[in-house]
């Protein structure tokens, strides 16, 4: 019982830290896309994280995933390493970071749906109740918020919806893999398997000139 309580507490603390870190991602992306192309921004951040992940795996001498895990790792990579960063960067060319962050309220519901489909998870009824309530509020905001009828804002909203869907799938698949691999290994391997194509694209999409790129970006 004590071990289970400690694991549960550790999960809550890790989740809280993750949310705090995650909360800075979209505002930072909004600043960066003012000067960088969204594709370059996506592959550059993936390349940097991929190099760090490779070093961590080498230093920890982590075991390689089983052959049956690679497809799932590619799903995680496609969702959280490529899909979410790219779609949010595209969205933030059209909408503010404050507006985009509201859409993150849809992420728990998307993750839970994919967790049920892919991992056989069965959240309690109260979870679905509050997730649907929160999602309804997000949908209402998107429909009635400032600029909702503007074509550019609609495009940004659609990019954000796509980002939430692929991120939810990536999170759920990563959660399923975490039953066999440790959580940090899942994201590290997902970054490593995408490192080579991300690095190639990074060099291919380098800005022609860095003169007009601000320090903030």
Give pLDDT, residue 46.
94
- Is 27 inside a domain boundary? no
Tokens of 190: 């997902």
Number of domains in the chain: 1
pLDDT on residue 147: 53
Look at residue 3 and tell me if it is in a domain.
Answer: no
CA angle 53, 88, 29 (to 5 degrees): 70
Stretch 65-88: mean pLDDT: 90
pLDDT at 137: 79
CA 212-82-207 angle, to 5 degrees, is 20
Match 């969205």 to its residue by tokens. Answer: 91
Res 23: pLDDT: 81
Q: Concatenated DSSP letters for 86-128?
A: HHHHHHTTTS-HHHHHHHGGGHHHHHHHHHHHHH-----HHHH
Q: Which of 20-29, 80-89, 108-117, 139-148 has the highest mean pLDDT?
A: 80-89
Q: Which long-range contacts (CB under 8 A, 24 or more apart) does 108-111 make?
A: 108/134, 109/134, 109/135, 109/168, 110/164, 110/165, 110/167, 110/168, 110/169, 111/167, 111/168, 111/171, 111/172, 111/175
Q: Is the pLDDT of residue 149 over 70?
A: no
DSSP-derived secondary structure for 34-85: TTS-HHHHHHHHHHHHHHHHHHHHHHHTPPPPPGGGHHHHHHHIIIIIIIHH
The model carries a pTM of 0.83
Position 112 in a domain: yes
The arithmetic mean of pLDDT across residues 129-158, rounded, is: 74
26-35, 94-103, 119-128, 181-190: which range is least confident on average?
A: 119-128
Instruction: State which residues form the domain around 142.
Output: 69-194
Could you tell me if 174 and 183 are in contact, meaning their C-beta atoms sit under 8 angstroms apart? Answer: yes
Task: Indicate the SS3 state at residue 1.
Answer: coil
Please give the Cα distance from 144 to 84 (Å, whole number). 25
């Amino acid at each position: 019982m004590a071990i289970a309580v400690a694991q549960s507490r550790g999960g809550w603390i890790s989740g809280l830290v993750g949310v705090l870190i995650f909360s800075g991602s979209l505002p930072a992306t909004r600043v960066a896309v003012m000067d960088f192309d969204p594709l370059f921004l996506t592959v550059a951040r993936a390349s940097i994280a991929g190099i760090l992940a490779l070093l961590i795996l080498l230093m920890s001498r982590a075991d390689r995933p089983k052959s049956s895990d690679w497809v799932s790792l590619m799903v995680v990579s496609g969702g959280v390493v490529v899909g979410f960063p790219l779609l949010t960067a595209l969205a933030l060319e059209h909408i503010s970071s404050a507006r985009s962050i509201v859409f993150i309220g849809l992420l728990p519901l998307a993750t839970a749906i994919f967790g049920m489909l892919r991992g056989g998870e069965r959240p309690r009824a109260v979870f679905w109740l509050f997730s649907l309530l929160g999602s309804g509020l997000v949908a209402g905001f998107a429909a009635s918020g400032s600029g909702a009828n503007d074509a550019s804002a609609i495009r940004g909203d659609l990019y954000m919806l796509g980002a939430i869907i692929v991120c939810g799938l990536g999170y759920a698949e990563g959660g399923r893999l975490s039953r066999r691999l440790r959580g940090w290994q899942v994201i590290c391997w997902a970054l490593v398997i995408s490192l080579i194509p991300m690095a190639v694209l990074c060099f291919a999409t380098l800005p022609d000139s860095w003169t007009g790129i601000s320090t903030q970006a």
